């Protein structure tokens, strides 16, 4: 499957994990050992090592994505009572030390989709995501200065609600401050009406969205890169339709917007069982969804570390298959 990701034109994998992965005695569920006999007996960090080793051998890069504290919980905060912030930071520094010098890994997506009561820049140690991201990011850089520190947005800023992890309005007034400023990458998640209907999708004609959506994106996250403040990674987007309906127009317009503004993206997702968006792979887990690739392949970069060839030098990517411009 790693080879298929590379052959399909993607150059990086966004690899989700939970802190629970590193608990002693925890074992993975759902591995088909007939297909993966070399994974038998492996757990925790050893499993992650095997995936990263496999990716590195074929030239794929990896972004580590702390997706949830535990496998069965999607809390609004980046910590829980059972998985405190100290454990979150300690696990990140452990990974940063463990993989130091491994050039297959290019960055740390600190926490997936902060939302609900999460704030930005108010100084509340219990809710201020900007403050927590600075603490974790600087702790990582202290032991591994080579990684990109990827900071997602939140859900609402000053009562302006957006997608979970998608609202970066607060960064204008309260930017993330890292010991290595050039390692900062902001990240937003964005979805279409298929996931949840929003007011900005309201239109008589779906084709009108191609003209109205760019202003929505500029306000909530894109301004950081278009103004030259910091790079923005579109960390997640995806949907089942690439057609003329509202979902398809949203998706195609977003890819074009990212391409126009030279922004990297991670598409959700490679595998098909991703909830309400489907994947790059069909449900046989083998066949590539060509309607999606017809759009995404128009914006992809070559493998990192390799010179671009010809004039078709595009950016693009997925979270389980992701693209990063070589200049970053």
Residues labelled as active-site residues: 113, 236
**Do β-strands 61-68 and 264-266 pair in parallel, antiparallel, or remain unpaired?**
unpaired
3-state helix, strand, coil in the chain (%, to 5): 35, 15, 50
Question: Residues with Cβ < 8 Å from 262, sequence gap 6 or more?
Answer: 225, 315, 325
The candidate with the shortest Cα–Cα distance to 171, out of 116, 242, 230, 213, is: 230
Extended beta strands in 73-137, E state: 105-109
Residue 115 sits at φ, ψ, to 5 deg, of: -160, -170
Q: What is the DSSP code (8-state) at residue 171?
A: G
Query: Residues near 197 by Cβ (< 8 Å), separated by ≥ 6?
Result: none
Of 176, 245, 241, residue with least CA distance to 208: 245
């Amino acid at each position: 499957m790693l080879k298929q990701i590379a052959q399909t034109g993607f150059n990086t994998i966004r690899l989700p994990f939970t802190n629970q992965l590193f608990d002693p005695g925890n074992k993975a569920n759902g591995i088909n050992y007939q297909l993966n006999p070399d994974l038998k007996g492996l757990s925790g960090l050893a499993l992650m090592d095997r995936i990263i080793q496999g990716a590195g051998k074929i030239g794929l890069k990896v972004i580590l994505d702390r997706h949830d504290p535990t496998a069965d919980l999607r809390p609004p905060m980046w910590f829980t009572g059972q998985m405190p912030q100290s454990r979150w930071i300690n696990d990140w520094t452990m990974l940063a030390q463990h993989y130091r010098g491994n050039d297959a890994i290019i960055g740390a997506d600190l926490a997936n989709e902060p939302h609900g009561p999460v704030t930005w820049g108010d100084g509340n140690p219990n809710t201020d995501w900007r403050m927590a991201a600075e603490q974790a990011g600087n702790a990582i850089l202290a032991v591994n200065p080579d990684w990109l520190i990827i900071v997602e947005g939140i859900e609402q800023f000053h009562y302006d609600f957006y997608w979970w992890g998608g609202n970066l309005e607060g960064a204008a007034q309260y930017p993330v401050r890292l010991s290595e400023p050039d390692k900062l990458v902001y990240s937003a998640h964005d979805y279409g009406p298929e996931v949840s209907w929003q007011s900005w999708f309201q239109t008589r004609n779906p084709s009108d969205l191609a003209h109205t959506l760019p202003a929505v994106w500029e306000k909530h996250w894109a301004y950081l890169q278009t103004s030259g403040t910091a790079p923005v990674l579109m960390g997640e987007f995806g949907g089942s339709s690439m057609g003329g309906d509202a979902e398809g127009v949203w998706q195609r317009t977003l890819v074009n917007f990212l391409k126009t503004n030279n922004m990297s993206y991670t598409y959700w997702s490679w595998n098909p069982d991703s909830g309400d968006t489907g994947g790059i792979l069909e449900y046989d887990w083998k066949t590539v969804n060509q309607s999606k690739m017809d759009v995404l392949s128009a914006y992809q970069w070559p493998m990192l570390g390799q010179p671009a060839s010809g004039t078709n030098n595009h950016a693009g990517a997925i979270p389980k298959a992701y693209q990063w411009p070589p200049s970053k």
